[in-house]
């Protein structure tokens, strides 16, 4: 929680403290501390003496009469006593001065608080659940077989592109398969004739070499089709005549009975994963470049939210923590932290945290902005106090618990969480009455020894 405290700033409270103290003393001098004395504090009516140093009735001055301070410290409840902790009080001259200094009190509200971090976020596709499908080659969109919102199984045909490269690759494969068949026949014959002494071994060597070249050519042609997404095994075509080869290759990759309109240049575009069609950019008849996305298919039952977290607070975030995402408009969704970036962005000093959010009913869309609340720790019992109730001395936070009408315990507390201008602090319990405003003045009084002998007539 250290960095939560730091974020409050080390300098502002000190300045405020001095300002408030100066204000309190100024008010005291100009209105006359003594005016309040006899009526408001009957306990001090017996003596008109006024501690000139601490601006409280001399009889009751806890700073001059250490026994008073010790007496009160001894009455502190056990939960407000820690071994080695200096017990500080802030004593105010009178109830009137209290009111003039703007000090207000309220009972502490004890509640269950979980430390939370609130950051802006944007929905995105889960990285492994989205496929942007394009043609492997430049061409013309011939058909789009799906609509946005359609749920498609894996390997389903979503579009067909007509591309001359497919025709060329099929033609090359046909030629090389035919040439390979011929080279194999020639090699078979040559082996027999060489064995019979009709041809020379040199002839055979040349024929075997041609066979190897034909094998390589057929392999290359097969790979060229595979690179277009059309898998075929050249050896399965061996022995087929030209007409049969043409029939086998013409519908390559297309469903049985697909009406090709007489074209052998058709390239199927298939979804590699099951999901919902979330985007269609393909327009029938339009020219497309290789690999330009034509259709986006994604499994959107779960979305990701990217959450840039200030580097200083990213240390509180861990994989598995609960996240509630509230889109700027729409239905909130729950999720979990799944990944945290290794490094902060060098410019923004933000560390990206990713969370999954459930989207079974597909109410969330990708690219939606919203607010995410990350629960960074277990729920604990704490007092939820207004920010004005807490004063900071560096990293140490203090609240002021009322002990008598004019004496407050300056209690060191830990800030456990911070939310909507309120702070969750420890050590308070039901029944504690704390100052919620004017605490800068109380802080200044509690630490008045730091101010030195700054007050003089």
Q: Of 61-69, 161-169, 217-225, 384-392, which segment contacts Zn ion by CB under 5 A?
A: 61-69
Question: Does residue 184 contact residue 177 with C-beta atoms inside 8 Å?
Answer: no
Question: Does residue 297 contact residue 280 with C-beta atoms inside 8 Å?
Answer: no
For 44, counting Cβ atoms within 10 Å of its Cβ (0-12 exposed, 13-18 middle, 19+ buried), the class is buried
Interface residues for Zn ion in 297-316 (CB under 5 A)?
none
The alpha carbon of 263 is separated from its chain's Cα centroid by a whole number of angstroms, namely: 50
Decide: helix, strand or coil at residue 399. Answer: strand
> Binding to Zn ion by residue 455, rule CB under 5 A?
no
Interacting residue with Zn ion among 61, 295, 297, 413 (CB under 5 A): 61
CA proximity to 380, closest of 5, 115, 117, 82:
115
| Smallest separation, CB 62 to Zn ion (Å) | 8
Q: Of 63-71, 330-338, 386-394, 418-426, which segment contacts Zn ion by CB under 5 A?
A: 63-71
For 296, counting Cβ atoms within 10 Å of its Cβ (0-12 exposed, 13-18 middle, 19+ buried), the class is buried
Closer to Zn ion at the Cβ: 54 or 142? 54
Q: Which residues lie below 8 Å from residue 218, measured CB to CB, with a gap of 6+?
A: 173, 176, 177, 179, 180, 234
> Binding to Zn ion by residue 64, rule CB under 5 A?
yes
Closer to Zn ion at the Cβ: 56 or 399? 56
Decide: helix, strand or coil at residue 454. Answer: coil
Closer to Zn ion at the Cβ: 54 or 402? 54
Q: Of 64-72, 147-155, 189-197, 364-372, which segment contacts Zn ion by CB under 5 A?
A: 64-72
Decide: helix, strand or coil at residue 200. Answer: coil
Buried b (16+ CB within 10 A) or exposed e, 246-269: eebbbebbbeeeeeeeeeebbbbb
Closer to Zn ion at the Cβ: 47 or 111? 47
Question: What region, left, alpha or beta, does residue 420 occupy, with left being phi > 0 and alpha being psi -120 to 50 degrees?
Answer: left
Closer to Zn ion at the Cβ: 64 or 240? 64
> Binding to Zn ion by residue 338, rule CB under 5 A?
no
Closer to Zn ion at the Cβ: 52 or 394? 52
Closer to Zn ion at the Cβ: 51 or 224? 51
CA proximity to 57, closest of 32, 75, 38:
38
Closer to Zn ion at the Cβ: 97 or 337? 97
DSSP 186: H
| Smallest separation, CB 443 to Zn ion (Å) | 18
| Smallest separation, CB 85 to Zn ion (Å) | 23
Distances (CA, A) of 443 to 24, 188, 386, 412: 12, 104, 16, 11
Strand partners, 250: none
> Binding to Zn ion by residue 63, rule CB under 5 A?
yes
**Count of residues that bind Zn ion according to CB under 5 A:** 6
Closer to Zn ion at the Cβ: 439 or 448? 448
**Dist. CA 258–CA 268, nearest whole Å:** 11
| Smallest separation, CB 51 to Zn ion (Å) | 3
Closer to Zn ion at the Cβ: 52 or 239? 52
| Smallest separation, CB 38 to Zn ion (Å) | 18
| Smallest separation, CB 52 to Zn ion (Å) | 8
> Binding to Zn ion by residue 290, rule CB under 5 A?
no
| Smallest separation, CB 453 to Zn ion (Å) | 13
| Smallest separation, CB 371 to Zn ion (Å) | 51
**Dist. CA 430–CA 315, nearest whole Å:** 32
| Smallest separation, CB 45 to Zn ion (Å) | 18
| Smallest separation, CB 102 to Zn ion (Å) | 23
Closer to Zn ion at the Cβ: 54 or 170? 54
Query: Binding marks (x or -) toward Zn ion, 30..59, rule CB under 5 A?
Result: ---------------------x-xx-----
| Smallest separation, CB 396 to Zn ion (Å) | 25
**Dist. CA 168–CA 225, nearest whole Å:** 10
Question: What region, left, alpha or beta, does residue 89 occupy, with left being phi > 0 and alpha being psi -120 to 50 degrees?
Answer: beta
Residues that bind Zn ion (CB under 5 A): 51, 53-54, 61, 63-64
């Amino acid at each position: 929680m250290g960095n939560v405290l730091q974020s409050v700033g080390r300098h502002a409270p000190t300045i405020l403290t001095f300002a408030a103290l100066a204000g309190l003393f100024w008010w005291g001098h100009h209105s006359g501390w003594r005016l309040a004395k006899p009526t408001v504090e009957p306990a001090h009516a017996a003596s008109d003496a006024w501690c000139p140093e601490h601006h409280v009735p001399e009889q009751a001055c806890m700073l001059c009469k250490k026994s008073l301070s010790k007496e009160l410290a001894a009455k502190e409840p056990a939960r407000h006593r820690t071994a080695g902790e200096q017990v500080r009080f802030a004593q105010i001259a009178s109830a009137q001065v209290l009111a003039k200094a703007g000090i207000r009190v309220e009972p502490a509200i004890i509640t269950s608080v979980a430390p939370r971090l609130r950051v802006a976020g944007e929905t995105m596709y889960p990285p492994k659940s989205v496929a942007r499908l394009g043609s492997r080659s430049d061409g013309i969109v011939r058909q789009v077989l799906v609509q946005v919102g359609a749920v498609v199984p894996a390997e389903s045909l979503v579009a067909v592109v007509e591309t001359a490269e497919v025709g060329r690759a099929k033609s090359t494969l046909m030629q090389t398969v035919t040439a390979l068949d011929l080279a194999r026949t020639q090699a078979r014959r040559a082996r027999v004739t060489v064995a019979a002494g009709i041809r020379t071994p040199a002839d055979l060597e040349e024929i075997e070499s041609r066979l190897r070249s034909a094998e390589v050519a057929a392999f290359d042609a097969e790979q060229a089709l595979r690179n277009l997404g059309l898998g075929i095994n050249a050896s399965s075509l061996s022995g087929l005549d030209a007409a049969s080869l043409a029939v086998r290759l013409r519908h390559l990759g297309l469903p049985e009975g697909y009406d090709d309109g007489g074209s052998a240049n058709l390239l199927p575009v298939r979804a590699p994963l099951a999901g919902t069609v979330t985007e269609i950019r393909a327009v029938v008849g339009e020219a497309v470049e290789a690999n330009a996305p034509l259709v986006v298919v994604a499994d959107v039952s779960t979305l990701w939210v990217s959450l840039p977290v200030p580097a200083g607070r990213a240390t509180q975030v861990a994989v598995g923590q609960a996240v509630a995402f509230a889109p700027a408009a729409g239905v909130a969704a729950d999720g979990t932290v799944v990944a945290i970036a290794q490094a902060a962005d060098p410019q923004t000093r933000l560390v990206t945290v990713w969370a999954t959010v459930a989207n079974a009913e597909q109410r969330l869309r990708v690219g939606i902005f919203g607010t995410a609340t990350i629960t960074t720790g277990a729920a604990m019992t704490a007092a939820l106090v207004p920010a004005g109730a807490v004063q900071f001395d560096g990293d140490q936070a203090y609240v002021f618990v009322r002990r008598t009408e004019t004496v407050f315990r300056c209690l060191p507390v830990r800030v456990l969480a911070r939310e909507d201008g309120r702070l969750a602090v420890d050590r308070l319990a039901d029944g504690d009455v704390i100052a919620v405003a004017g605490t800068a003045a109380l802080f200044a009084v509690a630490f008045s020894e730091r101010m030195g002998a700054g007050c003089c007539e």
